């Protein structure tokens, strides 16, 4: 891993992520431009998907005037489908960059769950977030608990939402479409279309909960952890303040 620190970084995490103590480093370039662009486009796509998905599941009761004069639900569905394509294509691009990007670009796609030290570090971070322990070690990339949450609470859930979403989209695209060829097996697996709708809707609420916790943790770390998190996803550099 390449760093721009003025002094050596102390390696402590289970996957060779770097940890800085005290004044050991001031700034490290972590997230490359494609990762940052994907992050913010993803945030916008998920926002659009959540808002439009809510109204698709709970449509407006009525609108004034003739029904033929309105296409509101059509626009909502179009925005939902477009954002879904953005989410899916963006994930494919993110997988590509995990292969060609730096070390931190790959952290999202695997978790060292078979390493004992990793679970020890997760426990340490859990105590930190619970206001039980003092300031933990400083991680240049994702801390172990954040990495666990990103993989199991975000990445796998996004994959689930993309698969179930395209399965539902295939019903409108009809049999023989590429959506039907790739995702037509999903609805029979769940039993029926309404079951897929239900799980897809629950997945939306799961993503909303994740986003709330994610934003809280990022802002909290900026204030209490004395290391940049929000601005790191803008500049790419993580800074440590003491």
Residue 76 scores a pLDDT above 90? yes
Cα separation, 165 vs 113, in Å, equals 29
Tens digits of per-residue pLDDT, 21-60? 444 458 889 999 999 999 999 999 999 999 999 999 888 7
Q: Specify the higher pLDDT residue, 224 or 31.
A: 31
Q: For residue 125, what are the contacts with CB-CB under 8 A and spacing of at least 6?
A: 136, 143, 144, 145, 146
Q: How many beta carbons lie within 10 A of that of residue 30, not counting itself?
A: 27
Beta pairing class for 18-20 and 10-11: antiparallel
Instruction: Give 105-130 pLDDT, tens digit per residue.
Output: 999 999 999 999 999 999 989 988 88
Average pLDDT over residues 89-95: 96
Which one has a higher pLDDT value, 16 or 113? 113
Displacement of CA 237 from its chain's centroid (Å)? 19
Do 112 and 200 form a contact (C-beta atoms < 8 A)?
no
What gap in Å lies between CA 220 and CA 10, rounded to an integer? 24
What's the CA gap between 53 and 59, in Å, rounded?
Answer: 10
Q: Quick one: average pLDDT of 11-24?
A: 42
Q: How far apart are CA 47 and CA 41, in angstroms?
A: 10
| pTM attached to this predicted model | 0.83
How do residues 133-153 score in pLDDT, each as one tens digit?
877 677 888 889 999 999 999
């Amino acid at each position: 891993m390449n760093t721009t620190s003025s002094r050596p970084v102390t390696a402590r995490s289970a996957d060779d992520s770097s940890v800085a103590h005290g004044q050991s480093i001031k700034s490290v370039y972590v997230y490359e431009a494609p990762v940052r662009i994907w992050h913010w486009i993803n945030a916008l796509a998920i926002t659009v998907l959540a808002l439009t998905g809510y109204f698709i599941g709970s449509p407006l009761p009525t609108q004034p005037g003739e029904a033929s004069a309105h296409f509101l639900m059509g626009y909502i569905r179009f925005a939902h489908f477009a954002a879904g394509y953005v989410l899916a294509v963006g994930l494919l691009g993110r997988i590509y960059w995990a292969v060609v990007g730096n070390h931190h670009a790959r952290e999202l796609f695997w978790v060292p769950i078979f390493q004992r030290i990793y679970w020890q570090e997760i426990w340490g971070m859990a105590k930190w977030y619970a206001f039980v322990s003092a300031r933990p070690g400083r991680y240049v990339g994702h801390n172990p608990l954040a990495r666990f949450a990103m993989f199991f609470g975000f990445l796998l859930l996004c994959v689930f939402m993309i698969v179930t979403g395209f399965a539902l989209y295939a019903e409108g695209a009809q049999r023989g479409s590429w959506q039907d060829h790739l995702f037509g097996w999903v609805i029979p697996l769940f039993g029926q279309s309404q079951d897929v709708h239900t799980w897809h809707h629950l997945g939306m609420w799961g993503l909303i909960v994740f986003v709330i916790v994610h934003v809280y943790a990022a802002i909290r770390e900026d204030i209490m952890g004395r290391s940049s998190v929000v601005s790191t996803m803008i500049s790419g550099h993580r800074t440590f303040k003491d």
